[in-house]
Amino acid sequence: MNESNSQFEQRKRDHIRIALDPRSQTDGQNGLDSINLVHEALPEMDFKEVDISTSFVFQKQTILLSSPIFISSMTAGHEKGREINQALARLSDRHQILMGVGSQRRELEDSNAAEEWMAVRKQAPNAKLIGNIGIAQLIHTPIDKVQRLIESTEAVGLFVHLNPLQEALQPEGDRDFRKGLQAIENLVKTVQIPVIVKEVGCGFSTLTLKRLQDAGVFAVDVSGKGGTHWGRVEGYRSEESDLLYKVAQTFSNWGVSTLQSMLNAKEAQVNYQLWASGGVRNGLEVAKLCALGASQVGIAKPFLEAALAGDEALENLLQKLELELKIAMFCTGSKTLKDLQTKWVMS
């Protein structure tokens, strides 16, 4: 369904407002409470030796990062979104962490929308940005237009978002997902940056993770159930008397948890990097996901709340998350993130 610019902007404003509503959260459903890191009472190391830096290599280019924590994609294409993205990009620039940009869907039809990212780049020239396209848009978009999305953000990677439940419950939703896997394969063969396939909060089954094995993707962000639930968000955009509102209540807990999605990836024995997000709220949960094999761990809602409060709040949040991660590593005797991968048990 075609939207006017004003309709698009209103939808994005609705998304921010409703995503911050506690009713849109599936708190406690990410499954990570059942993972315990093994306490080491005698670490035999100095806390200063804990190293949370990481990197990834693509086509001989190495991207150095200060930590595995990244800012998950949230919003774009409206005035408040510009302010949020500029604040988040400045944080990425200062600390060299990855940032997934908000929706670039509007740019596919309106070339002027790319100005948002030009403004971001002026404030954060060294931010590590990852572009954003939905699978429903990718299927119907010529590769040269996708390339322009990458160029407008000067992206170091590209997220392809999979969101069937959200599109099904969205009044303006694009529900044609035919030839989605083929579109991903074509994209990987064409662009010169890593392609990361990502859910938006409903996770992945073992079968779907296996189907992506031969697509050539660089990584999959499992983005499981446990945080903002976009089925709920779209439902709350409708009036209580509307059909989509009522149907959204039926699917309010739909999805595969973040933990189960990670375990599914282990069962699938995937050949691409695993990234993880979905209800991650503190550095201990980041540590647990790194222990489970995640190379990068995304956080959205806490960064959104902090961005709305200003740069100081963002600094304080990142400092807290990274200190929690370091303490979890120190108390398991892990000097590096790789060391963590032998330090977990399920209760």
* Annotated binding-site positions for FMN: 72-75, 103, 132, 198, 223, 228, 279-281, 300-301
DSSP 164-204: HHHHHH-TT-----TTHHHHHHHHHHH-SS-EEEEESSS--
Give the residue numbers of the binding site.
Answer: 11-12, 72-75, 103-105, 132, 166-167, 198, 223, 228, 279-281, 300-301
Half-sphere exposure of 2 (CA within 13 A, CB side): 4
| Measured distance CA(131)–CA(112) in Å, rounded | 17
User: For residue 338, which phi and psi values (nearest 5 degrees)?
Assistant: -65, -35
What stretches of 137-289 adopt beta strand conformation (E)? 157-162, 195-199, 219-221, 273-276
| Residue where the block lists tokens 């996708």 | 146
For residue 262, CA distances in Å to 32, 248, 255, 294 come to 10, 26, 13, 8
User: For residue 196, which phi and psi values (nearest 5 degrees)?
Assistant: -115, 120
| Measured distance CA(327)–CA(192) in Å, rounded | 37
> What tokens does 19 get?
């995503």
Q: In terms of Cα–Cα distance, which of 101, 115, 212 is closest to 158? A: 101
Give the residue numbers of the binding site for substrate.
Answer: 11-12, 103-105, 166
What stretches of the chain adopt beta strand conformation (E)? 35-37, 54-58, 61-65, 69-71, 98-100, 128-134, 157-162, 195-199, 219-221, 273-276, 296-299, 344-346
What value does the CA radius of gyration of the chain take, rounded to a whole number of Å?
A: 19
Residues 206/264, Cβ–Cβ less than 8 Å: yes
